Amino acid sequence: MAARIMQAAKCPTDELSLTNCAVVNEKEQQLEQHVIVRNGAQKFVFTLKTHPSMTHGSIGFSLPQRKWAGLSIGQEVEVTNYRFDKSRQCISTMTMEIDFLQKKSIDSNPYDTDKMNSEFVQHFNNKAFSVGQQLVLSYNDKLFSLLVKDMEAMDPSILKGKKGSGNKIEIGLLVGNSQVIFEKSESSAVTLTGRSKTRESRQSIISPDWNFEEMGIGGLDKEFSDIFRRAFASRVFPPEIVEQMGGKHVKGILLYGPPGCGKTLMARQIGKMLKAREPKIVNGPEILNKYVGESEANIRKLFADAEDEQKRLGANSGLHIIIFDEIDAICKQRGSMAGSTGVHDTVVNQLLSKIDGVEQLNNILVIGMTNRPDLIDEALLRPGRLEVKMEIDIFCLFRLPDENGRVQILNIHTAKMRQHKLLGGDVDIQELAIETKNFSGAELEGLVRAAQSTAMNRHIKASSTVEVDTDTAEKLQVCRMDFMGSLNNDIKPAFGTNQEDYASYIMNGIIVWGDLVSAVLEDGKLLVQQTKNSDRTPLVSVLLEGPPNSGKTALAAKISEESEFPFIKICSPDKMIGHSEIAKCQAIKKIFDDAYKSQLSCVVVDDIERLLDYVPIGPRFSNLVLQALLVLLKKPPPKGRKLLIIGTTSRKDVLQEMEMLDAFSTTIHIPNISGGEQLIKALEHSKRNKGQHFSIGIKKLLMVIEMAVQMDPKYRVSKFLSLLKEEGRLGSDRFMAI
């Protein structure tokens, strides 16, 4: 548009004079939202409003605007349209000098600059401001004069989690997430409180330099980063640009994972870290009510404040956060509860209508938490609702608290002890982090509590009553011995690898009595390397078969131990005694489900025929368990996960008839000792390990050998050893070891 010559005039109403806008007639269609007013050599940018009382060809200014621009009533000015570059001229931070407009209205009441900032941004949203500009603000029925001191532009790099460069600008556009800082003028008597009176407060809804460790969170930095970049980028950037892109705010996040992985802690800190209304935290079961319609009413109450504010302020409404703990309690699959009253179904319907219904709310963020995402209604998980689904998974190598993560978590939980000098000087957090492999955050916290209890127990008097020894209690110190004692006796990892699971199987070590044993161990190493390195075979399975007591389970345990996989479990029939067929299938399936959650896993399926309840009399076996094992042995792990399965059996012929051998990638035979040289190696190995000696006369030895030779070849070795035992030449413990 070419420049127009217009006459300066008064602002037509007091209400319009408080908008910081110039006013023109509604028929001035050539003029756009923002204009440049030229007074001589000087240029001033104004935002326009329309009013029918303005005459055609005139432009109205308030008194502060006329003073700032040096305009007089009736003066001719040149007016041209102005368009903001919203990638460079959106205001990040604006500093305002504030004072009472009239001396008679001075009072000593404190004014909260945080609330003042919120109202200012809502009232002047999408308005033009310039450094040096004067304006009037109405707040709490008081009029304040304001002077724009300086402005900083919003930097798009904040979307990448970086801090803005803070470039100074002379002319800027105030947007919904701009930050206004209020400072007293030198002679001002106004009393200010709140963060917005200093430069510590930033415009971002997320603090890019937030310290998670100080907030009590360790080992979850990646999860926080992923959530922020996915869920809050649209709320950080100017809303006008988001609207031009056709983007929409994410309105829901689902955090899921096993107990103790930090879901509730993460949701709580998200609420604290965002510049939003106080989060509403509700447990899922609290929503339910026995009276008809009350459960749905409880859902509506949670969204009432956000609904009211959106009606009043529209796009300028603040963010309302609603956190549902155990959301699966109220959002089960609709129609899944036979014979129910349908309360769960109507609660789900009510929640869906509030998040993404016909009159949807754009100023909400719903955070749901559960360890059973499979129970939640599918409609709630589609895009537009709880669309950001984050697995807080303590199994994965890249999500299991690694050594650095464990150091962070232990530092958090021991911070107060260090502060009050109650932590012993011999406690090495780095050492504890190394020793607590596969511990979740909750288990690390439990370890610290257990160590504290152990330390306090030393200062309790042993008498008829429980009393604290006050003489020594003042010298209380939680030392390394307390942590190590708790680590060995009290706290064990619920997930990942528990060394006690397989240590009992190899307590006597592996006796390499021949090349066959060495070959089995070498083959085991190759299978481990294949599982780790091959992308074509994410599932590797091997069956160790051989006669009873040939050491199959010990070899399987040794291979799994040397793999150093983060998840190792032994599926053994001795842990399922008394289980029904269904319960046994569920227990086996849970072991495999847990294994799928680790990047590298090893599952030892021990004594398969016992798991199947096989007995040769009949014969009898559990077809339900057989079918479950056949499916699980062939099922490939999820993408990005690798699984090694080691099975053991003494009845290869039975598994062949059951068509289970084909489920394994390969089969390795584990033989018995069948020769004198092998026996001597086994005895020599046992002698070296035990440090014991034995002797037998040659005549007696020949007699024992001849007796053993008379037996069936399959039983000669066992008969030979039993005869030696009867002679008392070797202790019974030696034979158990062999």
CA-CA distance, 395 to 73, in Å (whole number)? 74
The three-state secondary structure class of 705 is helix
CB contact at 8 A, 600 and 635 = no
DSSP conformational letter for 102: S
Pick the catalytic residue: 263, 552, 597, 642? 552
Of the residues 163, 634, 635, 690, only one is catalytic, namely 634
Q: In whole angstroms, give the CA distance from residue 511 to residue 520.
A: 12
DSSP of 365-419, one letter per residue? EEEEEES-GGGB-GGGGSTTSS-EEEE--SSSTTTS--HHHHHHHHHHHTHHHHH
Angle at 311 between CA 306 and CA 313, to 5 degrees: 90
| Sign of the four-CA dihedral 233, 239, 241, 247 | positive
Q: What are phi and psi of 452, to 5 degrees?
A: -65, -40
Tokens encoding 315: 């796009």
Q: Which of 465, 471, 699, 712 is catalytic?
A: 699
**CA-CA-CA-CA torsion for 113, 115, 117, 118, nearest 10 degrees?**
170
Point out the catalytic residue in the list 606, 642, 648, 649: 606
Give yes or no for a contact between 14 and 3, defined as CB atoms under 8 angstroms apart: no
With residues binned 3-state (H G I as helix, E B as strand, rest as coil), the percentages for the chain, rounded to 5, are: 40, 20, 40
Q: Is 553 a catalytic residue?
A: yes
Strands 320-325 and 280-283 come out as parallel
Backbone angles phi, psi at 232, to 5 degrees: -120, 0
Where does 487-638 show beta strands of DSSP type E?
539-545, 567-571, 600-605
Enumerate the H helices of 203-291 as residue ranges: 221-231, 233-236, 239-245, 263-273, 284-287
Catalytic residue among 607, 642, 648, 649: 607
> Does the annotation count 634 as an active-site position?
yes
For residues 172 and 635, what is the distance between their CA atoms, to the nearest angstrom? 60
Q: How far apart are CA 229 and CA 219, in angstroms?
A: 18
Contact between 601 and 634 under an 8 Å Cβ cutoff? The reply is: no
CA 394 – CA 341 distance, rounded (Å):
37
606 catalytic per annotation: yes
| CA distances, 87 to each of 84, 91, 400, 422 (Å) | 9, 10, 39, 53
* Amino acid letter, residue 360: Q
Active site residue 552: yes
- Measured in whole angstroms, the distance separating CA 318 from the mean position of its chain's CA atoms is 25
**Residue with token string 């008829």:** 464
Active site residues: 552-553, 606-607, 634, 699
